[in-house]
Structure 1
Amino acid sequence: MRSILSALTISVLCGIGNGHVLGQTPDELVPPPTNNEVTAVFAEEAPYIDGNLDDEVWENIPPITNFTQVWPNDGASATEDSEVKVAYDRDHLYFAFRFYDDNPELIRAKNLERGGRNNRDDHAYIGIDTYRDGRNAYLFEMNALGTQDDALITDESISYDSFSWNAVFISETKIDDEGWTMEVSIPFRQLRFPEGEELEFGLMISRMINRKNERVLWPAIGMEYGGNFGAFGTLAAVSQYGTLKGIKNIRRGNNIEIKPYVISGAQEVRPDLQNEQTDVEYTYDIGGDMKWGITSNLTLDLTVNTDFAQVEADNVQLNLSRFNLFFPEKREFFLERAGLFEHGNTRSTQTFFSRRIGLTNDILTGARMTGQLGRFSVGAMNIETGNEMGDVFGSQSTNNTVARIRTNVFPRATVGTIITNVESPNGYNRALGFDTKYRFWSSSEFNAWYTKVWDDTDALNDAAGHGSLQLQNETYSGGLSYTNVGENYNPALGFVRRRNMRQYSGNLGYNPTVEFNALPSLRRFNFGTSYNYIEGQDGVKRTTQLSGSATAEFASRQSIRISGNQQFERLFADFPIRQNAIIPAGDYTFNSIGIRGVTDESKRVFGTVEASTGQFYHGNRTDLEGSIGFRQSKHLHIEGRLSHSMIDLPIPNGEFDATTVSTSILGAVSRKLFAKALIQYDNFSRDLQANIRIDWIHTPGSDLFLVFNTSYHLTGDNETLFDPRKDVIMNSQAAVVKLTYLIML
């Protein structure tokens, strides 16, 4: 009924000759939105962003109403009505949302942490493709409390690492007896777009009705475009966005942002666990970042004396393999536009991995330029690292450089190149790479890359490359890939999990959707299998892995998965799996089976349970993992996780356990003041660590951080009664206060 009334209202408003929309001249009647096109209305008087839709500008704007489900019933009409209106003035782009809900008391809204888990609440997305290149877009996320997050979509790809861009925009909401409303104001200075008096943007709007696990979109984008991320992945299908028209004569501004910081702290460290003496060090420092929109297409970021004290701690991992562990980047300076610099196989063989910069010494100064020049996406980064500011560009500092260019050669196809260079007192390490990607048939993709590395000693003069073809739609998938990594391949600014290999891989998948009327509680099955064959550069087999899984997804967002795995490993040298436990060289074959259950994490109490068991290097291994979460209210969230592996190998000291325990506590007073504590323990190091971070967003884009880190070592053993007075020794503790302030010119 609401949709019919809305359509009649639009027809009347647009059909009356003298019924003009506010801010339009008599010759500029605004047409009603279509299935793929909407016209923004100029606002003579800007709306006051408070979540109430009573501003005059919203009264006569024809809304977008034709939202379509992408999940759970792809292509069906939305079960709840939605209306979205778009306006602008010379400095801002405005959105007004009216999300009707027949049961407003069931609206889920509990996250107050900016950048937190809005996906557990009712929420909305705005996707904006400013260049209309069909590949890249800005993504703005708001939940029913107005809590924000944002992301940058790169080359129609999105991941959880994409949510790192911190835009400054305003969103406010109201929950009432009809559902919830929201107003959003996005400054044009936060966007980059081409020159022109009149602009057209690509636009996508998404609403998530959480308790129904229902995602609706405008324009309609089918599940076949979702790729591996399903309905969530359709948000990144920029080539399928609708058109936002009518934006004229806007101000671009100076586009200069300066963000200085001051920091003070103290750290107490025990140099020797056997010694009760501790050393205390006090720190005071200043520094800052600057962002300058050189043109409407290019942005320059500068950083001086960069500090990352507020960065969250890494999750503890125990390594039971003979390859490197991957720890994701969490530092804001490197995360923004990180997708542009991606090259290689993610988390496996990356040509550039920013985590390699500034971990063993300080970042003294740095610059980064990113932007769009016609069809070309460009990025360049230059970072100077060292021990003291006096070392900048000196003989004791290290220079880290990366340059990236990528261009679209035709719709949904790109080619690019990347260059990295490290100049240190010990010499240089350089890499040159090329890549291409072609997306076709909705989610299908061809991908290839090649990188050559060399240094001043010729010891690392080697290369790596990859080629893959993946055919995929919402039901079927299949792919082949080949990866070749040289024995001495080691880009200084990259991440390489495994060298000296040639890997041949294949996968098949079948994901049938269950008819809604047949089994209302069951929505989809996922069947998948994959095979990997890895040999050395000498052609000798090293690893094979055959795996398969079957998953049932339920309408309630619960799922259960059964999996099986057969693996062969050939060790050419002894492998220390842990201290004093050596697996001898030889051939090993082991089989395992596992089961995993997941509940709806948007509910008050949620959790996961996973178990697997099987052979392991001529012995046995059983893995148990579980997590539980409790969303007490919008002010308190608690989550805990336990991972426990029981290993029994026929070698000396081969019977042992590997355990990690962690607890995360989120407390929020408001959207501007929240605190998070991460407490972790593992039985290998026997260290108990705590990272506590309080964040007060005192003005948009500006923060006051209070950070406390502490580490204790448990010295007791399993044979005696644990006594915390004797068996707990403080390793270190540190407290830091950091104040930032955003100045916009």
Structure 2
Amino acid sequence: MHYQYYCVSPPPEALVLSHTVTVPILTKLKLMLLLGVVLLCNAALAQKKNANYQLHIKRAKGAIKIDGLLDESDWLNADSTGRFYMVLPMDTSYANLNTVVRTAYDDNNFYISAVCYTPTPGYMVESLKRDFSFLKNDNFIFFMDPFDARTDGFTFGANAVGAQWDGIMFEGSKVDLSWDNKWYSVVKNYPDRWVFEAAIPFKSIRYKKGIKEWGINFSRNDLKSTEKSAWAPVPRQFPTAALAYTGTLVWDEAPPVATHNISLIPYALGGITKDFEHNKDAVWRKEIGGDVKIGLTSSLNLDLTVNPDFSQVDVDQQVINLNRYELFFPEKRQFFLENGDLFANFGYADIRPFFSRRVGLNAPIRGGARLTGKIDKNWRVGVMDIQTGQSSSDNLSAQNFGVVTLQRRVFSRSNIGIMFVNKDATGSAPNPDSKGSAYNRNLGVEYNLASSNNQWTGKLLGLKSFSPGVSGHDYVQAANLQYLSKYWTIALQQQYVGRNYNAESGYVPRKGYNKLAPLLQHNFLPKNGIILSHGPQISGTYFFDERYKPTDNETILSYLITFRNRATLTVSGLNDYVKLLQPFDPTNTGKTPLPTGFENHWSTIDIQYASKPQSVFTYLVEAARGGYYDNGTKNTLIGQVGYRFQPYVNLLVNVSYNDLHLPAPYGRNKFWLIGPRADVTFTNTLYFTTFVQYNEQARNMNINSRLQWRYKPASDLFIVYGDNSIPSPFTIKNRQLTIKWTYWCNI
């Protein structure tokens, strides 16, 4: 839906009940939800589903050269996988395309090869750029769970022309591709197959000494045949990344433990920045700093950083902001990513006691340390301490951020976690009239339910904040439960956030509310024809204030269609009611706001179509028409057009148009957001990206160009240019040019 572009959505929102919902009914629903979570603990005790799928790995007797030829005797004698199982379009048979995977190891590396047979010559890919989109590339990816805990791990792979994919896994099937590490791979293409060969240094992954059985699964995506497959079978409603369905990698002896596992990652930077808007002199930048990664054990890692710089990180994608609450933008900085789920995923998407983008947002990070990893199969730990400097421009004192989190695995795949967050001012603000608090602390506990077959998931959450002079209504209580099968998705979520709850280091855009959010969806699965699946979904949100008086709600009735060629069509009807809890300008342009208590009610029709991903020309079109605040109307058009010249150039244009018709003093407001992007990959180590964003609402045009040369694995040279300007009349606001060199050295 169009509203999903505006912020990161929380877990599925659902059917809104009528205004006649009473406190006793809500209380019963809470109790039923909590009871259901507790009762389902028994379901989590079942054994691993694909335990019988085993692949044996043997120590290599000779050297293995990563060249894609697979002519070494160790490959010829290695155990290989059997036939893969189809996941899409059906999950009831073997895959039509044959894929053969073999593994080996020596003292330093884990080796893997995959022969991906194709019925016809050629391939479908976006480009040679790293961390590609899974759905838009022929690819081979594998998912590694060294503790066989089925909750977290690592993923590596490549597309059919050799672009690498690597990420960390969390919450059973989710992948963070921002994570980057040192490994080697080659892809060779032949008329009837393509071959992937890789070496993963043991220093680049975390595992426990002595464990001889790792969870693993292999996934293949082929766009020409629209077939997705996996070695160990995965039901079609789940991603092939679902660790609940991994097979087992059986080692002939315990994997070797990497010794002296220390990585030094220094950087040197030079650049120039010019502020034209305030007519300031150009500022030259000359900085050095870097990170150190120390493997305290094979599964526990210490990250240190001094004067970190993140100038090469991708810029955030802008949005037309018609939201009453703060928008969410994900963390992309490398230092915060390894085992980042321990910190970032505690709570819900809209209730985070810690959000790392708060750290260093308006002040420089001077240094920091992170201890993360697994103590054993059942225990994970995360400890972080970051010190920032003082910021005169934002009147901020130096601050210290400390976070401790501990997670204990229970039953088959569930866990209990605790978190403590501490933010302290470590100096005086430049302006003595600063109103920043001396400290802010949060203490939380959560139980995450995940059944062995992944059909039942849920969470119980409790948080308490501590701030100077604040007491009462300063806690959070929330829970959700979801059932997911081929045919049904049923979910219920409940939240309470006190009006005085304060998470200065977190992301909690809304306070002082109770929320109820059910969801119900049914899938029909035709055995043939052009439609792969279709079905209705009813969902929404229902908000109360702390006294259970209704404030706002949204009800959504949708029909979802997925075609066999993987194109999708969604038709939705939305019904909204909003009673403003604070003044709000519905155009977000600084005009006179509507008053607190102002009631609004409207309906919207929304249609979205996304084309099949296997074409070199792809597109997405979404149109919505309906009401808006103050008896106004809103017409929205969203489009995305992509074209790729395989495998070197990928062009993409995002367009958003909002047309608001409102009474005085707002009148008619038309907002365009146009964002063309060009990715040119000369090789799989040399990339050039230019991203232009024109935001009419913000009266800003942004250009960000980046040349990246990966001269060695995980070592880069960046040249980054950026500027911001006022579109009309065209006026430059600021410009910056940065050259940054990084080097990854393993000791």
TM-score, structure 2 length as denominator? 0.88
Q: Select which of 103, 108, 120 maps to 1:91.
A: 108
| Match of residue 450 from structure 1 | 462
Distance across 2 between alignment mates of 1:172 and 1:234: 23
| Match of residue 579 from structure 1 | 590
| Match of residue 171 from structure 2 | 155
What are the superposed Cα offsets for residues 512-532 of structure 1, whole Å, 9 maximum, x if unpaired? 21112xx1x211114211132
Distance across 2 between alignment mates of 1:487 and 1:137: 38
Q: Select which of 66, 71, 79 maps to 1:62.
A: 79
| Match of residue 630 from structure 1 | 643
Kept in 2, the 8 Å contact 1:442–1:473? The answer is no
Write the letter of the residue equivalent to 1:468: N
Measure how far apart 1:595 and its partner are: 0.4
Which contiguous aligned blocks of 4+ residues in structure 1 show a shift greater than 6 angstroms? none
| Match of residue 603 from structure 2 | 591
Q: Within the alignment, does 1:677 sit opposite 2:678 as a pair?
A: no
Q: Within the alignment, does 1:687 sit opposite 2:700 as a pair?
A: yes
Write the letter of the residue equivalent to 1:40: I
**Alignment partner of 2:74: what SS?**
helix
Distance across 2 between alignment mates of 1:473 and 1:406: 28
Measure how far apart 1:456 and its partner are: 2.3
Kept in 2, the 8 Å contact 1:136–1:238? The answer is no
| Match of residue 447 from structure 2 | 436
What are the superposed Cα offsets for residues 561-607 of structure 1, whole Å, 9 maximum, x if unpaired? 10011111112443222322533442111111110010123421111
Write the letter of the residue equivalent to 2:157: E
Q: 1:452 to 1:689 in 2, by over 3 A?
A: same
| Match of residue 82 from structure 1 | 99
Q: Select which of 532, 539, 542 maps to 1:523.
A: 532
Q: 1:157 to 1:627 in 2, by over 3 A?
A: same
Q: How does 1:37-52 map to 2 (within 5 A)?
A: 37-52=54-69
Which sits farther off after the overlay, 241-250 or 295-304? 241-250
What are the superposed Cα offsets for residues 414-441 of structure 1, whole Å, 9 maximum, x if unpaired? 1110110000144100000000011225
Q: Within the alignment, does 1:255 sit opposite 2:261 as a pair?
A: yes
Measure how far apart 1:167 and its partner are: 2.1
Distance across 2 between alignment mates of 1:278 and 1:361: 20
Measure how far apart 1:110 and its partner are: 4.2
Structure 1 gaps of 5+ residues are 1-32, 227-232, 390-394, 716-726
Distance across 2 between alignment mates of 1:290 and 1:363: 15
Write the letter of the residue equivalent to 1:652: P
| Match of residue 295 from structure 1 | 297
Measure how far apart 1:35 and its partner are: 5.7
| Match of residue 643 from structure 1 | 656
Q: 1:123 to 1:442 in 2, by over 3 A?
A: same
Distance across 2 between alignment mates of 1:192 and 1:115: 20
Kept in 2, the 8 Å contact 1:115–1:148? The answer is yes
Kept in 2, the 8 Å contact 1:35–1:218? The answer is no
| Match of residue 660 from structure 1 | 673
Q: Within the alignment, does 1:569 sit opposite 2:578 as a pair?
A: yes
Q: How does 1:130-529 map to 2 (within 5 A)?
A: 130-159=146-175, 162-196=176-210, 199-224=212-237, 226=238, 233-238=239-244, 240-248=246-254, 250-272=256-278, 277-374=279-376, 375-387=378-390, 396-424=397-425, 425=427, 426-440=437-451, 441-458=453-470, 462-516=474-528, 519=529, 521-529=530-538
Distance across 2 between alignment mates of 1:352 and 1:673: 35
Distance across 2 between alignment mates of 1:573 and 1:169: 52
Write the letter of the residue equivalent to 1:482: Q
Kept in 2, the 8 Å contact 1:218–1:242? The answer is no
Distance across 1 between alignment mates of 2:89 and 2:693: 37
Distance across 2 between alignment mates of 1:316 and 1:154: 27
Q: Select which of 536, 544, 559 maps to 2:568.
A: 559
Q: 1:733 to 1:460 in 2, by over 3 A?
A: farther
**Alignment partner of 1:189: what SS?**
helix
What are the superposed Cα offsets for residues 658-689 of structure 1, whole Å, 9 maximum, x if unpaired? 22111111111101110111100111222111
Measure how far apart 1:464 and its partner are: 1.1
Which sits farther off after the overlay, 53-62 or 178-187? 53-62
Measure how far apart 1:459 and its partner are: 6.4
Distance across 1 between alignment mates of 2:208 and 2:202: 12
Give the total of aligned pairs.
679
Measure how far apart 1:271 and its partner are: 3.7
Q: Select which of 111, 115, 139 maps to 2:131.
A: 115
Write the letter of the residue equivalent to 1:328: P
Distance across 1 between alignment mates of 2:666 and 2:97: 61
Write the letter of the residue equivalent to 2:384: M
Write the letter of the residue equivalent to 2:129: E
Kept in 1, the 8 Å contact 2:135–2:613? The answer is no
What are the superposed Cα offsets for residues 196-235 of structure 1, whole Å, 9 maximum, x if unpaired? 2x622111111111222211111112225x1xxxxxx231
Which sits farther off after the overlay, 542-551 or 255-264? 542-551
Write the letter of the residue equivalent to 2:438: G
Kept in 2, the 8 Å contact 1:147–1:171? The answer is no
Identity, % of aligned pairs? 27
Distance across 2 between alignment mates of 1:541 and 1:656: 30
Q: Within the alignment, does 1:608 sit opposite 2:611 as a pair?
A: no
**Alignment partner of 2:129: what SS?**
coil
Measure how far apart 1:132 and its partner are: 1.7
| Match of residue 711 from structure 2 | 698
Write the letter of the residue equivalent to 1:212: S
Write the letter of the residue equivalent to 2:217: M
Write the letter of the residue equivalent to 1:557: R
Which sits farther off after the overlay, 444-453 or 285-294? 444-453
Q: 1:683 to 1:286 in 2, by over 3 A?
A: same
Write the letter of the residue equivalent to 2:559: A
Write the letter of the residue equivalent to 1:542: T
User: Highest Rg: 1 or 2?
Assistant: 1
Measure how far apart 1:344 and its partner are: 4.8
Q: 1:344 to 1:252 in 2, by over 3 A?
A: closer
**Alignment partner of 1:40: what SS?**
strand
Write the letter of the residue equivalent to 1:541: P
**Alignment partner of 2:357: what SS?**
helix
Distance across 2 between alignment mates of 1:711 and 1:628: 24
Write the letter of the residue equivalent to 1:191: I
**Alignment partner of 2:241: what SS?**
helix
Measure how far apart 1:245 and its partner are: 2.9
Measure how far apart 1:388 and its partner are: 8.5
What are the superposed Cα offsets for residues 478-505 of structure 1, whole Å, 9 maximum, x if unpaired? 1211100111222111101211100011
Q: Which has the higher contact order (CA 8 A, sep 6+)?
A: 2
Q: 1:34 to 1:649 in 2, by over 3 A?
A: closer
